[in-house]
Amino acid sequence: MADREVSVVLPAYNEADSIEHTVSVTLETLAAFLPAGSFEVVVAEDGCDDRTPAIADRLAAADDRVRHVHGDERLGRGGALERAFRGSDGDVLVYFDTDLATDMRHLEELVDSVRVGGYDVATGSRRMPGDEQRREPERGVASTGFNALVRLFFRSPLYDHQCGFKAFDREALFDLLTDVEDDHWFWDTEVLIRAQRAGYDVREFPVEWEPTGDTTVDLVRDVLGMGSQILRLWWQLAVRPRVDRRVTVAAGTLLVVAALAVMTVYLDPRAVLSAMAGADPALVAVAAVVYLLSWPLRGLRYRDILAELGYRERVGFLTGAVFISQTGNLVFPARLGDGVRAYVVKARRDIPYPSGFASLAIERVFDLLTIAALAGGTFLALAAAGVDVTAIGGTEAGAAGRSGRTAVLVAGGVGLAAVAAVAVIVATARSERNAVRATLGRVSDDSYVDYVAGIVERFAGDVQTVADDRRAFAVVGASSLAVWALDVVTALVVFLAFGVDLAPAALVAVGFFAVSVGNLAKVLPLSPGGVGLYEGAFSLIVVALTSVPFEVALAAAVVDHAVKNVVTVVGGVASTLLFNVSLTEAVEESQEVGEAPARE
């Protein structure tokens, strides 16, 4: 049993002008309906840079009913509340906004809903139909849209999820907080939704509310922040529990069957199978050997990335770890295999999960940059050779040509975005100026910017760790180029196995472009290992730029991707046996911890 019956927490960030008045009004209101000594007021000061901490200290020293919980760093609204609640004494935990926008005559009803009414959660409502609801919030459009989306996505019966006027049963709240992930403005909504899903009794009642201060729509907080959090919580509660291995395998199978059914409309499958049967098996075997040579380079590159993060490991072990993670990507959708590598290096070499995920982020950026550079370079080379790549899709090329033009445009867009993003990261790595916060600050002045900027900065910082060291950047970049060059050479050897009649220069140019566009298409995690995406983009580019028949181009794409996937699976199975790793266990473990670094 806690020492106090009721603890009221006041979240405070730079509230020097109002905090003393708010504490005074709160104490006076509580004393009017609670016994003396049965309540406390906790100022949850969240990394303020004004006089709020000094004022809170003075108030706490003058009145034993007041406490001050100080924070040196910003935790965000939800984070500051959670820290203060855990340090409080009350059985009933309450909070409301320090601007006192909600009429304080409702405080007794709020507290007693939990204290004597038996509810686990109580929340005021500025939108609930009733006689006491007199004013629509000034941020009407944004608030209406947000609450409508929450009601739609989560089937919530509540009218106002963000009202800063709530009370909780202590045990119920701490049970909910084990799953709550948001640390800022969405915290209120997430607690309410999780409480409903857990079967707790939630009461909503109308309150008088007078808007003060922030009454405008904020781009970062309202659109980027709150919108993304709705999708994140919906995925966790409604989608992810239903997406098990059986569902993903069934969905993937249906997708492949549908694609094959559509393909038979304009392509004779027997022609593709006939083309595959005519491939030179010796050259296909040579292609497999060429591709196998790229794997030690992958391990070498990963060693260099980890070295920049302060960890030194053997190339052999790291090559096996890459084999295992890439095999996981072939088995599981949405690139879940990427997280397997973080699990392997943690379980077998005790490299912390944050460092494991950071190294993956660095590697992926270099992969994307290298593939985009290969596609862009080949694009320019083809243009210089007189090939009008912008005209792909004319009437002569037909449907395949139009699809090829679309693939070129998509690849070009992804490539330009990748190059631009990495260029910005590299530039800011050599500058003392914080470009992330400066840019976000131009579109928003809300404190949620700190939360969003922190996420962006962590990702940019991972890459800057390597980008700031010119030698490391050059070494990792060179090994990335070698890895993907061998990937292209593998496809070229497969082309030769099909007896494609192209001049050597044209074969090399088209091969580089087709493989690059095919790999860029795999950026979208729509199927395990990008199966189908790669073959489709690869074939369309070849048909659009050459006279190679579609069935031959598709057969070559299928064999090329199959050779790479077979080498990957064989290496992955051997590595899992060598390191005694379970792919299923690794995926489950990495999913659980993969969210933790994002909150640190």
Reduce the DSSP state of residue 345 to 3 states and report it.
helix
Paired strand residues for 6: 39, 92
Catalytic residue among 46, 97, 169, 188: 188
Cα 98-99-100 angle, rounded to 5 deg: 85
CB-based contact 311:355 (threshold 8 Å): yes
- Distant-in-sequence contacts of 212-216, Cβ < 8 A, 24+ apart: 212/99, 212/101, 213/99, 214/139, 214/446, 215/137, 215/138, 215/139, 216/139
CB-based contact 531:256 (threshold 8 Å): yes
Helices within 430-545 (DSSP H only)? 435-443, 448-467, 470-497, 504-521, 533-545
- The strand ranges marked E within 112-249 are 121-125, 165-169, 202-206
Q: What is the DSSP string of 224-270?
A: IIHHHHHHHHHIIIIIGGG--HHHHHHHHHHHHHHHHHHHHHHS-HH
d(CA 395, CA 130): 65
| Distance in Å from the first CA to the final CA of the chain | 32
Residue 188 known to be catalytic: yes
CB-based contact 515:319 (threshold 8 Å): no
How much helix, strand and coil, in percent to the nearest 5, is found in the chain? 65, 5, 25
Reduce the DSSP state of residue 575 to 3 states and report it.
helix
- Name the residue among 172, 211, 154, 18 with its Cα closest to residue 98: 18
CB-based contact 17:103 (threshold 8 Å): no
CB-based contact 128:159 (threshold 8 Å): yes
Determine the number of helices (DSSP H) and then strands (DSSP E) in the chain: 23, 7
- Name the residue among 430, 424, 318, 412 with its Cα closest to residue 373: 412
Sheet hosting strand 39-45, strand order edge to edge: 66-69, 39-45, 4-12, 90-96, 165-169, 121-125, 202-206
Q: Which residues are catalytic?
A: 188
